Amino acid sequence: MRHVFSVRIGTVGFRVGSDWRAPIAELGRLYADYPAPEDGIPDFNVRLFAARPWRRWLRPAVTLGGDFVLPEAAPLPLAQGLLAAEMAMNLQMALGQRRYLLLHASAVERDGRAVLMTGLSGAGKSTLAALLAARGWRLMGDEFALVDPTNGLVHAFPRLVSLKNEAIAVVRSALPNACFGPLLAGTPKGDIRHLVPDAEAIARMAEPARPALILFPRFGFEPAERGVGPSEVFVRLTQASTNYVALGERGFEAMTRLVRDVPARAIDYPHADAAVAQVEALWDSL
Amino acid sequence: MAYRAEPADALRIEPLDDFTLVFHRRSGLTHLVTAPAPEILAALQEGPLTRDALLARLAERYDLADGSTAALDARLGELVAVGLIEAA
C-alpha cells in the first residue's frame, strides 16, 4: 500500500498499510516512542483502504481490512482514520491472538503485581487505568490484558488509551503534561481522544506481571463493594474474553488458575476520583 | 436402560465453589454445573448404571435433597443433552 507504519505494542507487532497519508502520519506521531516489530516481522497486518478507488478523493471513507476482518464493519470518514486504525488493530488481536488468553480488560501494575479491570463499555476501565497511571502505577493497557497460559503471568498491551466523552476532560486535568491525539468528534462511540501512554509504560511494556486483583468496576452508582466468587468471575471473564473457546484446554487451564488464585471484587463508584481511592484502599488491604 | 459417562480422561473436572467446571475435551465446551451433576458423573465413571441403580448409589453416598426419580431423570436428561453422559 502507499503509506505504511509498523509498530510493536507489548509483545505484538503490527503493520498498518493505508491508502491515505493522514492516518499513518498520526500513528507515527502518537507511537513515535514505540519500537518496531521484533525482527521487522509483524504478527498482524491491518489495511485502511478506499472501498472504491474514487472514494479515496471524493468524500473519503476508510474501510478496514487485515488478516482478520468483520464483514459488516462500516467504513468510517477519513477524519476518523486514526480510530479506524485502532479499531482494526484491536480486531486483529480479538480474532487472531492465539498465544495468550485475551481478556477485554485494562491493567495497571505495582511491585510486579497487576490489577485487572473489566466491565461493559462505559464501566470506566480506560479512565481508571489512566488515572491510576497518573498516580504512579504502571499502565499495562486499557483494552486487552494478555494471560500467558504457560505461567499465568499477564502481559502488557499499552496501545493508545481510548478516552470517551466526559473521561477526556477528567484525564486531561489529571495528566496536564501528557500527549493526546486529536479530538475525534461524533464517532459511533461519541467523542474520542487518545492518550499516549507515559514513558514508563512504553519502556517496560515487555515486562509481564503476576495478576493480584480482579476488579469489576461500574460507573455512576453510590460507592459499594462486594466480593465476587470464583464461578461468577469465571463466567464474567469468559464473556470478556475473545478467544477463550479458540484456545481450548489451554484457555480452560489459564482461566481456572486465574479465578482460583486471584481475589475479585465488584466496585460501584459515583465519579472517577472515588474509584481511584477505592482501588488503592483495596490494594492496600490485600 | 443404562447410563454411561464420558471416561475420566475425556473430562477435566475442577470444583470452584457451589459450582464445578467441567471441560469436555471432545467438544471443547466448558460446562458450569452444580450438585448433583458432579456426583452423577463420578458414579457413572465407575461403570454404567441404570437409573434406579444410580439413584440407590447416590442415596447410599449422599444425603439427597430430592431423592425422587423425577428429579434424577431431569438431571440425567440435562447431562445427556450436553453430551457428558449417554443413555445406552
Say what the pLDDT of residue A58 is.
66
State yes or no: pLDDT of B14 exceeds 70.
yes
Question: Rounded to an integer, what distance in angstroms lies between the CA atom of residue A76 and that of residue A90?
Answer: 16
Question: Rounded to an integer, what distance in angstroms lies between the CA atom of residue A149 and that of residue A252?
Answer: 9
CB contact under 8 A, B16 and A252: no
Q: How close is the nearest chain A Cα to the Cα of B41, in Å?
A: 19
Residue of A nearest to B22 (CA): A252
Say what the pLDDT of residue A57 is.
66
Residue of A nearest to B31 (CA): A235
State yes or no: pLDDT of A53 exceeds 80.
no
| Nearest neighbour of A231 by CB, restricted to B17, B23, B28 | B17
Q: What are the grid coordinates assigned to A18, written together?
A: 493505508
Percent of the residues in chain A that have a pLDDT greater than 70, as a whole number = 97
Task: Give all strands (DSSP E) within chain A, no chain letters.
Answer: 3-9, 12-18, 44-50, 61-66, 76-77, 101-104, 106-110, 113-117, 138-141, 144-147, 154-155, 161-164, 184-187, 190-195, 210-219, 224-227, 264-269
Contact status, residue B57 vs residue B50, Cβ threshold 8 Å: no
Q: How close is the nearest chain B Cα to the Cα of A228, in Å?
A: 11
CA geometry: angle at A5 spanning A54 and A201, to 5°? 135
Q: For chain B, what is the total number of helices (H) and then of strands (E)?
A: 3, 6
CB contact under 8 A, B30 and A252: yes
CB contact under 8 A, B28 and A234: no
Q: What are the grid coordinates assigned to A189, written together?
A: 462511540
Instruction: Look at A74-83, A104-113, A204-213 and tell me which has the smallest mean pLDDT.
Output: A74-83
CB contact under 8 A, B16 and A260: yes
ipTM value of the model? 0.91
Q: What is the pTM of this model?
A: 0.92
Say what the pLDDT of residue A46 is.
94
| Nearest neighbour of B32 by CB, restricted to A235, A245, A260 | A235
C-alpha torsion A41→A44→A48→A52, nearest 10: 100
Helices B51-61 + B37-45 axis angle, to 10:
110
Q: Which of residues 220-259 of A touch B (CB under 8 A)?
A: 229-231, 234-235, 238, 245, 248-249, 252, 256, 259
Q: How close is the nearest chain A Cα to the Cα of B22, in Å?
A: 10
Burial class (CB in 10 A: 0-12, 13-18, 19+), B51: middle
Residue of B nearest to A232 (CA): B19
Percent of the residues in chain A that have a pLDDT greater than 90, as a whole number = 82
Residue B77 host element (H or E): helix B69-81
CB contact under 8 A, A256 and B28: no
Contact status, residue B10 vs residue B2, Cβ threshold 8 Å: no
Is residue A161 helix, strand or coil? strand
Contact status, residue A182 vs residue A121, Cβ threshold 8 Å: no
The band of A72, judged by pLDDT with boundaries at 50, 70 and 90, is low
Residue of B nearest to A259 (CA): B16
State yes or no: pLDDT of A180 exceeds 90.
yes
Order of strands across the sheet that contains B2-5: B49-50, B2-5, B85-87
CB contact under 8 A, A231 and B32: yes
State yes or no: pLDDT of A222 exceeds 70.
yes
User: Cα A77 to the chain's mean position, in Å?
Assistant: 22
Question: Rounded to an integer, what distance in angstroms lies between the CA atom of residue A38 and that of residue A20?
Answer: 26
Amino acid identity for residue A190 in this structure: G
Q: How close is the nearest chain A Cα to the Cα of B1, in Å?
A: 32
User: Cα A146 to the chain's mean position, in Å?
Assistant: 10
